């Protein structure tokens, strides 16, 4: 097997929750040795999320296993001076130190960037916090749910006639910041390979989320127009929506962006007379009569299966897609062909489905191989094999409570 792209890269991973762990999981899947530093007395929240239909517990979180697959786990008591000394040994060993605590946490342990450089002059420090390390709001306690609102997505989600916005599902910035963070880190590793110098990376999850609203922000900057809730419609496409199809709660999206696609849609619906209908002949007129047009399309889609609507429209160059539920996704032939989902044998949970990486590399393998570790599963291995701590010192550290 070919060597993985990041094989040989060593990461001391202090991250918790989702955004930080997901960033480091990209590195682990590409071959980096990622040692996750945890506390045996104060568990991170993601470890205790219950599995579907199950109860919460330190070993029951499928989410944690997915977000931390291919990593090693060591427990260190950072309240104990000897525990901090073990952490410093890891920093000396590592190429990268990663954390996504509230700014100031690492400094309380004496592990700010300046201190890290004293331990390891070429270290790369990756910091991913809610709003960055500087500024008046840097120390505000936030998470992906609150940042979803702060970045404006909650305000834009919902129907125009709603009295209040509807938060979209999930912690948006927890899922967008990691990809940007991985690119930052790879750039820093390349720079260090060329110059021998490390650096400190400061990722603001708030700012990372804002870039996904660039059109709305630019519209305000140029035109002083504040975007609002528009449901499923679009300012640059019409028709543009989600249409009910035959069957139980089956839907299909349709997005038309030019007259060629509009004509193709009319022909697929066997409604060629709509092409020249003055209500819909141009994009401007279609937008003006959007509700009437949506009703006409729904009358057609409700007579057909969502998969049929999608296939027939895609064949004619019209953007369309089934609104897939969990069953659809797990059985999607494209997903199966790409082997995105993978069954891994977890030591306590048994066979658990893990999500894949989302990309492939043609020259080097990149895949999920092992489930997320049990709490402290590799403490002895990391101490003895990676840090060179002998048996006597290991026992002294354990007896002193440093490895809890």
Cα-trace Rg, the chain: 25
Distance of alpha carbon 382 from the chain centroid = 28
397 three-class SS: helix
Please tell me the least confidently modeled range out of 29-33, 145-149, 185-189, 200-204: 145-149
User: What confidence tens digit (pLDDT) does each residue in 77-118 have?
Assistant: 999 999 999 999 999 999 999 999 999 999 999 999 999 999
75 three-class SS: strand
Q: What mean pLDDT comes out for the span 315-331? A: 96
Contacts of residue 393, defined as CB under 8 A and 6 or more positions apart, other chains included, come to none
* Longest Cα separation, the chain: 87
Q: What mean pLDDT comes out for the span 385-396? A: 97
Contacts of residue 276, defined as CB under 8 A and 6 or more positions apart, other chains included, come to none
φ, ψ of residue 321 to 5 degrees: the values are -155, 140
The percent of residues in the chain predicted with pLDDT above 70, rounded, is 96
User: What confidence tens digit (pLDDT) does each residue in 363-382 have?
Assistant: 999 999 999 999 999 999 99
Q: Give the confidence band of 243 by pLDDT, cuts at 50, 70, 90.
A: very high
Distance set, CA 226 to CA 203, 229, 232, 397 (Å): 27, 10, 18, 58
Residue spans of the domains in the chain: they are 10-211+336-399, 251-322
pLDDT tops 70 at residue 54: no
Per-residue pLDDT, 348: 85
Q: Give the confidence band of 48 by pLDDT, cuts at 50, 70, 90.
A: confident
Q: Comparing C-alpha atoms, which of 9, 7, 10 is closest to residue 363?
A: 7
Tokens encoding 14: 């202090």
CATH number of 251-322: 3.30.1540.10
Residue 351 near residue 344 (C-beta atoms within 8 A): yes
Residue 46 near residue 60 (C-beta atoms within 8 A): no
Distance set, CA 216 to CA 35, 144, 219, 229, 258 (Å): 40, 21, 5, 11, 21
53 three-class SS: coil
Rounded CA-CA distance 328/391 in Å is: 52
Please give the sequence-ordered ranges of beta strands (E in DSSP) within 246-301, or none if there are none: 251-255
pLDDT tops 80 at residue 166: no
Helices H / strands E in the chain, number of each: 18, 11
How many other CB atoms are there within 10 angstroms of residue 320's CB atom?
22
Per-residue pLDDT, 341: 95
pLDDT tops 60 at residue 248: yes
* Four-CA torsion 268, 273, 274, 278, nearest 10 degrees: 160
Domain boundaries 10-211+336-399, CATH class:
alpha beta
First to last CA, the chain: 37
Average pLDDT, the chain: 93
> Which residues partner with 189 through β-bridges?
none
* pTM for the whole structure: 0.91
CA count, 13 A, side-chain hemisphere, 54: 14
Per-residue pLDDT, 56: 52
Q: Comparing C-alpha atoms, which of 349, 340, 371 is closest to residue 53?
A: 349
User: What confidence tens digit (pLDDT) does each residue in 282-315 have?
Assistant: 999 999 999 999 999 999 999 999 999 999 999 9
Per-residue pLDDT, 58: 55
């Amino acid at each position: 097997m070919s060597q993985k792209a990041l094989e040989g890269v060593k990461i001391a991973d202090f991250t918790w929750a989702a955004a930080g762990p997901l960033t480091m999981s990209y590195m682990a899947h590409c071959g980096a040795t990622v040692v996750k530093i945890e506390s045996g007395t104060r568990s991170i929240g993601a470890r205790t999320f219950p599995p579907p239909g199950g109860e919460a517990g330190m070993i029951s979180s499928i989410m944690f296993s997915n977000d931390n697959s291919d990593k090693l786990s060591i427990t260190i008591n950072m309240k104990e001076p000897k525990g901090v000394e073990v952490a410093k040994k890891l920093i000396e060993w590592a190429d990268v130190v990663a954390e996504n605590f509230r700014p100031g946490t690492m400094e309380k342990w004496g592990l700010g960037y300046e201190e890290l450089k004293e331990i390891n002059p070429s270290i790369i420090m990756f910091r991913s916090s809610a709003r960055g390390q500087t500024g008046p709001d840097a120390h505000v306690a936030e998470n992906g749910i609150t940042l979803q609102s702060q970045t404006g997505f909650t305000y834009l989600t919902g129907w125009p006639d709603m009295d209040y916005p509807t938060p979209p599902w999930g912690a948006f910035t927890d899922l967008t910041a990691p990809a940007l963070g991985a690119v930052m880190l790879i750039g820093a590793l390349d720079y260090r390979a060329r110059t021998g110098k490390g650096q400190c990376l400061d990722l603001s999850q708030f700012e990372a989320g804002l870039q996904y609203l660039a059109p709305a922000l630019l519209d305000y900057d140029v035109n002083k127009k504040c975007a609002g809730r528009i449901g499923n419609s679009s300012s640059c496409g019409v028709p543009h929506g989600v249409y009910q199809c035959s069957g139980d709660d089956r839907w299909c999206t349709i997005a038309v962006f030019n007259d060629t696609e509009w004509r193709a849609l009319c022909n697929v619906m066997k409604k060629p007379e709509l092409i020249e209908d003055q209500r819909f002949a141009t994009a401007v007129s279609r937008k003006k009569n959007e509700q009437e047009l949506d009703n006409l399309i729904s009358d057609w889609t409700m007579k057909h299966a969502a998969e049929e609507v999608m296939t027939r429209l895609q064949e004619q160059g019209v953007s369309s897609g089934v609104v897939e539920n969990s069953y659809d996704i797990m059985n999607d032939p494209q997903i199966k062909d790409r082997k995105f989902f993978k069954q891994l044998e977890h030591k306590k949970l048994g066979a658990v489905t893990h999500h894949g990486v989302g990309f492939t590399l043609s020259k080097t393998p990149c895949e999920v191989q092992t489930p997320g570790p049990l709490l402290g599963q590799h403490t002895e291995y990391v101490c003895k094999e990676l840090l060179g701590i002998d048996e006597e010192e290991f026992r002294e550290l354990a007896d002193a409570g440093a490895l809890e």
